[in-house]
Amino acid sequence: MMEKEIMPFSVPIYITRPLLPDIGDLTLRLEEIWGAKWLTNNGPQHELLEKKLCQVLRVPYLSLFNNGTIALIVACQSLRLSGDVITTPFTFPATPHVLKWNGIRPVFCDIDPETMNIDADKIESLITPQTAGILAVHVFGTPCNTAKIEEVAGRYGLRVIYDAAHAFGVEIDGAGIGTFGDISMFSFHATKLFHTAEGGALSFNDGNLKARIDLLKNFGIKNEEEVVMPGINGKMNEIQAALGVVMLEYIERERERRAALSAVYRQCLDRVEGITLSAEPKGVRNSYQYVVVRIDERKFYCSRDTIYNRFREYNVFTRKYFYPLCSDYECYKHLPSANSENLPVAKKIASEVLCLPLYGELTASDVERICSILVSFRGKRP
């Protein structure tokens, strides 16, 4: 009996689609802004969103930004980092870029084969007298080995910044992910679970940092007549903040939908030889930002790149996330730590990883169909 042909989707299925609130809910907030005629500089919407996010993220202090990259640049400035900072090559370009913009040299560390985060056991061997800190990434929302990272940092007097761009709402045994290290950065880009179209935030436990960070993101202006440090313009405006306030009413339902869809992916793919889904650590509240698989070509008999290209024939758009490694970029590959021999795990994973579509508007049948398409590629080399 012949297998039933799998037809392409009639409309494109992208890796994600932004969650949008009811336009009427947003309009009510915009009317408040129009009435106040206050568009930026710590207006009522900005203050409200900061307060609400502290509660949602379970963090004591938070500062909003116009985007996550500027937030990370300011994080480095606020801690007065210089010299070398140890980071991961398996991340979005912004992570090492913010170091470069601060005159800091990125030192790339290999990654853990299970979590795909920076390998905490390999950090210590990279520490030199020039090392000032560690910039770790909670890749795909999976928490880093925070205990080990901060134990090493404590022994060597290093600062710790976490890039938590994928980790909105993630908790470790009930503790907000933004309470670890010195500072954590959250991205509120439109592709994220929670977004303000563009935007970001820094969270931290030290109340003294709040004043310094808020000055740094507003040109260093203390008052009308005093500029006390060389700052930058990183402020979130009222329209962004208003969207964020409204979005907070929607994200838990979106997260639940993504959790249910992720379970369908796991059910369909868990036992397919050659496909490995990213682990779900115990005691961790997941952000369900992405569904990530790794393709072992030796067992699946089809490469990740072939799968990526063939999915497009079915109107499904996946992402080779993160490929290439940041250490392979022209601007970093000259660094001694960027040598591929030093990064064997990261190199391997970058050739295997594939993010599959995940957003609340998908249906379980959509996910089952995507999985059927993927499984149909098995054994079909180019």
Instruction: Give the residue among 251, 247, 259 at the shortest CA–CA distance from 358.
Output: 259
Q: What was the pLDDT predicted at 382? A: 63
Residues 256 and 243 placed together within one structural domain of the fold:
no
CATH number at residue 330: 3.90.1150.10
Q: How far is CA 214 from CA 33, 245, 321, 334, 351, in A?
A: 22, 20, 33, 35, 40
Residues 241 and 267 placed together within one structural domain of the fold:
no
Instruction: Give the residue among 174, 187, 126 at the shortest CA–CA distance from 152.
Output: 126
Q: Which two tokens stand for residue 271?
A: 């036992």
Note whether residue 274 is domain-resident: yes
Last residue of a domain, one of 182, 213, 247: 247
Residues 62 and 34 placed together within one structural domain of the fold:
yes
Note whether residue 382 is domain-resident: no
DSSP lists the bridge partners of residue 86 as 107, 134
Residues 133 and 281 placed together within one structural domain of the fold:
no
Question: pLDDT digit string (tens) for 107-132?
Answer: 999 999 999 999 999 999 999 999 99
Residues 266 and 201 placed together within one structural domain of the fold:
no
Note whether residue 16 is domain-resident: no
Average confidence (pLDDT) over 151-174 = 98
Instruction: Give the residue among 367, 353, 193 at the shortest CA–CA distance from 265.
Output: 367
Residues 240 and 104 placed together within one structural domain of the fold:
yes
Last residue of a domain, one of 223, 247, 271: 247
Instruction: Give the residue among 61, 62, 120, 115 at the shortest CA–CA distance from 86.
Output: 120
Question: pLDDT digit string (tens) for 355-374?
Answer: 999 999 999 999 999 999 99
Residues 227 and 279 placed together within one structural domain of the fold:
no
Q: How many domains does the chain have?
A: 2
Give backbone dihedrals phi and psi of 221, rounded to 5 degrees, phi first: -80, 120
Note whether residue 39 is domain-resident: yes
Note whether residue 192 is domain-resident: yes
Question: pLDDT digit string (tens) for 271-318?
Answer: 999 999 988 899 999 999 999 999 999 999 999 999 999 999 999 999
Residues 139 and 205 placed together within one structural domain of the fold:
yes
Instruction: Give the residue among 148, 237, 226, 231 at the shortest CA–CA distance from 200.
Output: 237
| Mean of pLDDT over the chain | 96
Residues 198 and 268 placed together within one structural domain of the fold:
no
pTM: 0.96
Residues 279 and 198 placed together within one structural domain of the fold:
no
Residues in CB range of 147: below 8 A, 6 or more apart? none
Residues 284 and 319 placed together within one structural domain of the fold:
yes
Last residue of a domain, one of 189, 222, 247: 247
Note whether residue 201 is domain-resident: yes
Note whether residue 7 is domain-resident: no
Average confidence (pLDDT) over 193-213 = 97
User: Scanning the structure block, which residue is given the tokens 């660094």?
Assistant: 335
> How would residue 1 be classed by pLDDT, with cut points 50, 70 and 90?
very low
Q: Do the bridges between strand 284-285 and strand 171-172 make them parallel or antiparallel, or are there none, so unpaired?
A: antiparallel
Q: Which two tokens stand for residue 276?
A: 């490995």
Instruction: Give the residue among 138, 134, 65, 71 at the shortest CA–CA distance from 101.
Output: 71
Note whether residue 12 is domain-resident: no
Helices (H), the chain: 23-36, 44-57, 68-78, 94-101, 146-156, 207-216, 238-247, 251-269, 297-300, 304-313, 344-350, 364-376
Q: What is the extent of the structural domain holding 124?
A: 23-247
CATH number at residue 225: 3.40.640.10
> How would residue 3 be classed by pLDDT, with cut points 50, 70 and 90?
low
Residues 142 and 27 placed together within one structural domain of the fold:
yes
